[in-house]
Structure 1
Amino acid sequence: MTAHTERERAALALSAIPADLPRDTWWKIAAALKHEFGEDGFALFDAWSRTTERYDEAAARDTWRSLKASGGIRIGSLYEIAKSHGFDPKQHQVATPTTAERTRHAKEQRERAERDARAQADEAQRRAQAADRAHELWENAAAASDDHPYLQGKTVRGHGLRLYRGNLRIGGVACDDALMVPLRGASGDLTSLEFIGADGEKRFLSGGSKAGSFCMIGDDYTRIVVAEGYATGASAFEATSYAVAVAFDAGNLRRVASALREQHPKAVLVFAVDNDAKANGSNPGLKAATDAAHAVGGTLAVPPAGMDLNDLHQRDGLMAVKDLINAALPQVWPNMEQRPCWCVYGDWQEVDGVKRKPGVWHHNFKQRDDQEPVMVDEWICSPLYVDATTSNREDENYGFLLRYVSRRGIWKKWAMPAEMLAGDGAEALGIVLSGGVEISQHKKREVLRYIASQHPTRHMRAATLTGWHDGAFVLPDEVIGADDVWFQAAGRTAPYGTAGTLAGWKSGVAALAEGNPLLMLAISAAFAGVLLEPLCIDGAPLMPIRDRAGYWRIEGGHRLYLFTSAGIKEAIKGYDLNRALSALDAAGAIARKQNGQRSVPIRAPDGRLTRLYAIDPEKLDVDG
């Protein structure tokens, strides 16, 4: 059909394009419409965007506002995208306008230009007002503490964040007690604020500028990690201490990257990918990070599918995040000015056409008489990292947390006591050799020199026993509940065996315990040991639970027996019940009474409310 106007033609093209496109394509369509129709094009863009279930009104509005009508993406880009979805621009040509139509069109263009100029001025004013409002809110807010529920849930700290207290609502959502994340432009000026609630709900200050703005964590600008969200960026910073720029969403990565490249032309930019692959095969997080990296000469740190760096942090710990980021950094063979030094390479290096194997290298130089110095490079062993120093709470038992890969490619950790470096260090070498480290036959002592010379920035607590340690549960190769403690011993302990899955345990074990008191007892006994310390219980013998005899529990720091009348009869073995109860009462052993009665209603383990006799064994003279 023939379109009467360019707007009608654009509407026909949009009808052929599904609105659930990757964000970078969706954004291009908005840019093309704004260039052609100015502010009048928003109605087309918004109506088309609403045809997907993923429609976000705020995102559509903010994206539109961030675009300029004078941008370089023209209406032809829209038609090219539509062609890939079956639209034929030749079959939808705009009719040749009459003289009157051309005059009217020229008038409309002038009026539109005037409206766009007014709209841009209004937008600039709104952004200035929002910046002023952001500055006022920021200055009146107190620093956020690390115990905020959102930060605890993400296992990160609040690096420079503040806490909002007040009646502000954005999009109907109350912002009281929300974290405030500052958005700053390349000049460092505050442009807007992000509010993050305890449940992770995020809202941006109305009217604020997000495009090209970012939140910076840290000040080591030799390497800068660019992340989408705050939690992802915080995990990257805590793992590496490199500077981090939080861009807030995938669509803002490229703008932020360009600003950072201009500010820090020599910095290595690493893009922390949100690896959010979709069912249709698209991956907007990876696509946006890849485009941004290509634009500024950056690299990619790509976590496993479906994860970002914070997900990786929570699953595998900060060291896994550090490894992923460092693996993305370009590794450079040191020059003469950087020698002597030790370097660890996780992959093959090609230097002057020669491939050098992964591992620990000692880079040095030799110089004889008046000759020019000659660089000397010696391979010491396969990759072995000194991730942290360790010590106990008394500042004793220092050690080194080593991380190395076996010949089969399995990564291991061992907190080696520093005292093992005394003497010839043969025992320490034997342990790493046994763990699969490959060592140059003539450089064994160099391995010990390398370890002793390292000064990692991270320091961790040393636990010399497995089990509970200051609120964390320490295993030989894993710690549950903390990431700043590790098991340290003069030998690497084999990891505890694991098997099965949680779902399998629920169906194959837990489901069988329902209505089975003996199996419940067995399972509870298996879990009891690890719960004694946090419950402040030194230990207790296992008491059988029977329907007739009753059960026992701990109250006030000592044991309390709870018996049914049948259970007491069985315990006194034929003695008169009333006489036995009177004797117990006279001894003060009946710990609970109610309305003159020696039995009281107590809820039993099976949930039933029944009358039981509460007997305190400490009141009984068992030797008398």
Structure 2
Amino acid sequence: MANTIQDAMALAGLAPHKVLDIPDNGKLTRYRVTGDKAGSVNGWAVLHGGDHPAGAFGSWKTGESHTWQQAHARPSSAAALATQRRQRAELHQALKAEREAVQTAARAKAQKLWSRARPAFDSHPYLRKKRVRAYGIRQLRDMLLIPARDVNGRLNTLQFISADGTKRFLTGGQIAGCYFAIGKPVDRLLLAEGLATGSTLHQATGAAVAVCFSCGNLLAVALALRSKFPRLRLVLCADNDTETPGNPGVTKAREAAKAVGGYLAVPVLSRWAYPCPF
């Protein structure tokens, strides 16, 4: 176990770019993580001192968070335990406030970039390589911009796709439960992981598609859409990750389909199979 919170940060791959003094007053400190670009402050840390030092740290860029407690400082009395609980409550509130501030800033930046961008062309190298059209996305210089909106239509963040296919998200933006919509649903709505897959499905079927950006976001989007469209047929179109242990594409899609009473579609060779309604 790490002796200090700085040691724990280093072990987790979130060491600060330079020596960082973290005050032990429970106030959140933001910092530049080693390897992040100059000027960024994606890392955060908070430390409680006293007889039972404890804290937490993480990255708004990756979304990860970790807790730390000094090994020999475990609560030894009811009063110490109560203090620890209070510290955790304070930490929770501090992180909630900071997360809201970060996401609000990301929404403002996303809207600014989206307003500056122009409609994307089908001739963009990435779209041409994937043989799909530019359905409602925009382009800023050579970068494609894909909006991630919640079920109320609010733009929360952007995904950027470069000409060579490199993908990244606007730092700090909300992804969970957000998606990019292609078309308007009539009798069914297809959910897919990425832009290329979603665009291909729309071209092939004419059906509306919700691009969820990752298999880890399928469940959150499916639940949000089920709440918005209680009677609509939802089809979870899985990425068949046969080369990845546990096949997360199919596993996560099946989990989401079960949760919303939807259908699971799994690609088999060049075909799409609909093996089971849930």
Partner of 1:203: 168
Paired residue secondary structure (1:226): strand
286, 293, 296: which one aligns with 2:257: 293
Judge conservation of contact 1:192–1:204 (CA < 8 Å) in 2: yes
The corresponding residue for 1:152 is 128
Paired AA for residue 96 in structure 2: Q
Q: Quick one: which of 74, 77, 98 aligns to 2:76?
A: 98
Unaligned runs of 5+ in 2: 2-7, 9-53
* Cα distance in 2 between the residues matched to 1:193 and 1:329: 33
2:157, 2:175 within 8 Å by CA — same for their partners in 1? yes
1:274 aligns with 2:239: yes
- Which structure is richer in relative contact order (CA contacts within 8 A, separation 6 or more)? 2
Alignment of 1:17-416 (within 5 A): 40=55, 42=57, 58=61, 61-62=62-63, 64=65, 98-99=76-77, 102-165=78-141, 177-278=142-243, 280=245, 282-304=246-268, 312=270, 320=271, 324=272, 327=274
Structure 1: distance between partners of 2:94 and 2:56: 15
- Counterparts of 1:262 and 1:130, CA distance in 2: 25
Residue 240 of structure 1 aligns with an amino acid whose one-letter code is T
Distance 1:139 1:64 in 2: 32
C-alpha separation in 2, matches of 1:95 and 1:62: 28
- Equivalent pairs counted in the alignment come to 222
Query: Residues 96 and 104 (structure 1 numbering): CA distance in 2 closer, same or farther, change over 3 Å?
Result: closer
Partner of 1:560: none
Displacement of 1:279 in angstroms is: 5.9
Q: Deviations over 1:159-181 (max 9, x none)?
A: 0010013xxxxxxxxxxx11000
Say if 1:213 and 1:256, in contact at 8 Å, map to a contact too: yes
Query: What SS is found at the alignment partner of 2:157?
Result: strand
> Any unmatched runs of 5+ in structure 1?
4-10, 12-38, 47-56, 70-93, 166-176, 306-311, 313-319, 331-624
CA shift in 2, pair 1:123/1:152, >3 Å: same
**CA distance in structure 2 between the aligned counterparts of 1:299 and 1:286, rounded to whole angstroms:** 12
What is the CA distance between 1:143 and its match in structure 2? 0.2
Q: How does 1:503-518 map to 2 (within 5 A)?
A: none
SS of the equivalent of 2:267 reads coil
In structure 1, distance between residues paired with 2:219 and 2:212: 9
Secondary structure of 1:303 counterpart: strand
* Equivalent position of 2:13 in the other structure: none
Whole-Å separation in 2 of the counterparts to 1:230 and 1:113: 39
Counterpart Cα distance in 2 of 1:230 and 1:183: 11
Instruction: Tell me, yes or no, if the aligned pair for 1:270 and 1:329 is still in contact at 8 Å.
Output: no
TM-score (norm 1): 0.33
The answer to whether the Cα contact below 8 Å between 2:75 and 2:84 also exists between their aligned partners in 1 is no
**Does the Cα contact within 8 Å between 1:196 and 1:202 map onto a contact in 2?**
yes
What letter matches 1:157 in structure 2?
R
Counterpart residue identity of residue 294, structure 1: K
* Per-residue deviation, residues 271-291 of structure 1 (Å, max 9, x unmatched): 1111002464x1111100000
**Who wins on radius of gyration, i.e. which is larger?**
1
Give the distance between the partners of 2:255 and 2:73, measured in 1 at CA: 38
Deviation at 1:117, TM superposition (A): 0.5
Q: Is the 8 A contact 1:270 1:328 kept in 2?
A: no
Instruction: Give the conservation status (yes or no) of the 8 Å contact 1:221–1:264.
Output: no
SS of the counterpart of 2:226? helix
**Shift of residue 329, structure 1, vs aligned partner:** 8.9
Q: After superposition, what is the alpha-carbon deviation per residue over 1:94-147, rounded to whole angstroms, capped at 9, x for unaligned?
A: 999533xx3223213212311220221111011011101101110111000000
Residues 212 and 96 from structure 1, CA distance in 2 versus in 1: closer, same or farther, beyond 3 angstroms?
closer
Rounded to whole Å, the distance in 1 between the matches of 2:144 and 2:113 is 12
Deviation at 1:42, TM superposition (A): 5.0
Rounded Cα–Cα distance in structure 2 between residues aligned with 1:328 and 1:132: 42
Residue type at the aligned position of 2:252: A
Higher normalized helix content (fraction of residues): 1
Query: How high is the sequence identity, in percent, across the aligned residues?
Result: 41
**Gap change, CA 1:206 and 1:235, over 3 Å in 2:** same
Letter in 2 for 1:270: V
Q: Distance between the aligned counterparts of 2:134 and 2:168, measured in 1?
A: 17
Distance 2:132 2:64 in 1: 29
Correspondences of 1:448-597 after superposition (within 5 Å): none
Alpha carbons 1:275, 1:303 under 8 Å: kept: yes
Structure 1 residue 297: deviation in Å? 0.7
How far does the alpha carbon of each residue in 1:316-336 deviate from its partner, in whole angstroms, 9 at most, with x for none? Answer: xxxx5xxx36x5697xxxxxx
Match of 1:137, as an amino acid?
A: L
Distance 1:294 1:194 in 2: 28
